């Protein structure tokens, strides 16, 4: 799918918490978008033509709109531009871009997604597509690191997928969870250290550079080969 320039308009915005919101953009011109799950779009965020990249978090089986998950905390040009958009405002977009997409099935024992923060965006698209559209039967596991309980969202949606697809597992991890938090606490790497990580797995990592470096080191130490570790650094 060749990248192209298009105009989209803000159709909906879901405010999850102080840090994260989901934006729904409707295609204006052209009316259709084709992308692979995991790809991103590049949005013009000021009059000088400066741009920022955002992974599409929706299932690629929808073509008249696309969804973005935004972490507002950087408060630079990109996040401020998006935050100030009003319903119906048009944005100038280039996309789809990127090669961080699902790799061909090589018979790996498991597909493992490891995200921190907004790094969940491409994985939501990939997981929905894998389970709902491709009917993936191999085990699919998601580890997702956030800071506090207040940052959590989509946990019910992922839990619904756990209930519906017996091959899907979900592990939210909180680095600063409260005393009451019953699940994994610490960094994502701490959680991974106490779970089985199949050497013959297909791994996708997305988030900040430090997490990707640490998890990659851990995976290689467990016998995973470098070609089976795919990653996208957000910052």
Query: Which parts of this chain interact with ligand FAD (CB under 6 A)?
Result: 40, 52-55, 68-71, 73-74, 76-79, 98, 117-118, 121, 232, 234-235
Q: Which of 218, 209, 221, 228 is nearest to 116 (CA)?
A: 209
Q: Please report how close the Cβ of residue 58 comes to ligand FAD at its closest, in angstroms.
A: 11
What is the b/e burial string over 113-144, where b = at least 16 CB atoms within 10 angstroms of the residue's CB? bbbbbbbbbbbbbbbbbbbeeeebeebbbbbb
Contacts of 166 (CB under 8 A, 6+ apart): none
Indicate the residue whose CB is closest to ligand FAD: 76
84/221 with CB nearer ligand FAD: 84
Q: Please report how close the Cβ of residue 49 comes to ligand FAD at its closest, in angstroms.
A: 14
76/223 with CB nearer ligand FAD: 76
Q: Please report how close the Cβ of residue 160 comes to ligand FAD at its closest, in angstroms.
A: 22
71/136 with CB nearer ligand FAD: 71
> What string of DSSP letters covers 36-98?
-TT-EEEEE-STT--EEEEEB-S-TT--SEEEEEEE-TT-SHHHHHHHT--TT-EEEEEEEE-
60/78 with CB nearer ligand FAD: 78
Q: Please report how close the Cβ of residue 135 comes to ligand FAD at its closest, in angstroms.
A: 26
119/201 with CB nearer ligand FAD: 119
Check residue 174 and give left, alpha or beta (phi > 0: left; psi -120 to 50: alpha): beta
Q: Please report how close the Cβ of residue 96 comes to ligand FAD at its closest, in angstroms.
A: 11
């Amino acid at each position: 799918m060749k990248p192209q320039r298009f105009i989209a308009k803000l159709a909906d915005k879901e405010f999850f918490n102080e840090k994260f919101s989901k934006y729904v953009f409707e295609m204006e011109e052209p009316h259709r978008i084709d992308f692979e799950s995991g790809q991103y779009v590049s949005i013009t965020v000021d009059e000088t033509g400066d741009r920022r990249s955002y992974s599409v978090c929706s299932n690629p089986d929808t073509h008249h709109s696309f969804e973005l998950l935004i972490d507002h905390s950087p408060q630079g040009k990109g996040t401020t531009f998006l935050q100030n958009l009003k319903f119906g405002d048009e944005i100038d977009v280039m996309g789809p871009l990127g090669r961080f997409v699902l790799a061909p099935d090589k018979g790996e024992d498991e597909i493992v997604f490891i995200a921190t923060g907004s790094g969940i965006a491409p994985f939501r698209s990939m997981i929905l597509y894998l389970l709902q559209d491709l009917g993936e039967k191999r085990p699919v596991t998601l580890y997702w690191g956030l800071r506090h309980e207040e940052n959590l969202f989509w946990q019910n949606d992922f839990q619904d997928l756990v209930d519906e697809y017996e091959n899907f597992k979900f592990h939210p991890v909180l680095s600063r969870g409260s005393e009451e938090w019953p699940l994994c606490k610490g960094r994502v790497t701490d959680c991974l250290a106490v779970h089985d990580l199949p050497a013959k797995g297909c791994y996708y990592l997305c988030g900040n550079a430090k997490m990707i470096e640490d998890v990659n080191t851990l995976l290689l130490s467990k016998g995973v080969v470098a070609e089976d570790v795919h990653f996208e650094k957000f910052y």
